[in-house]
Amino acid sequence: MSPGYPLGYSNNLNCNYTFIFPGKSIQISFLYFDVEQNHKDCRFDNVTVLAQQYSWTTMMTELGSYCGNNIPPVIVQRNRIEIIFKTDRSLQKTGFLLQYEVE
């Protein structure tokens, strides 16, 4: 969950959540999502999801950057997922709640 959830997050956050399960499938589901929205590019507050798709490389691929209150799609990847939550200096929302499963 984001810092402060469900009461709201702070300004100027830079949070990194890392899920590492070599050789396993990781499923990330957002149960609640409310992050400040910018209609063009989510540049104010955002949640960015990165994945290491192959165990033989450290390269991370961006799967998406999300803001607003539409729940992002369920994400299923292998090996490693990173979620980066960044906020600006104004306008806070509730934040997000997620769950993960490993198979």
CA distances from 50 to 11, 74, 93 (A): 23, 13, 23
User: CB-based contacts of 12: which residues, under 8 Å, 6+ apart?
Assistant: 87, 88, 89
Determine the pLDDT at residue 3.
97
Q: Is the pLDDT of residue 29 over 90?
A: yes
Q: Is the pLDDT of residue 100 over 90?
A: yes
Render pLDDT for 32-89 as a digit per residue (tens, 0 to 9): 999 999 877 898 999 999 998 777 778 899 999 999 999 999 998 888 999 999 999 9
CATH-assigned architecture of domain 14-91:
Sandwich (2.60)
The pTM score is: 0.91
Sorted by where each begins, the domain ranges of the chain are: 14-91
Determine the pLDDT at residue 54.
75
Determine the pLDDT at residue 41.
85
Determine the pLDDT at residue 46.
97
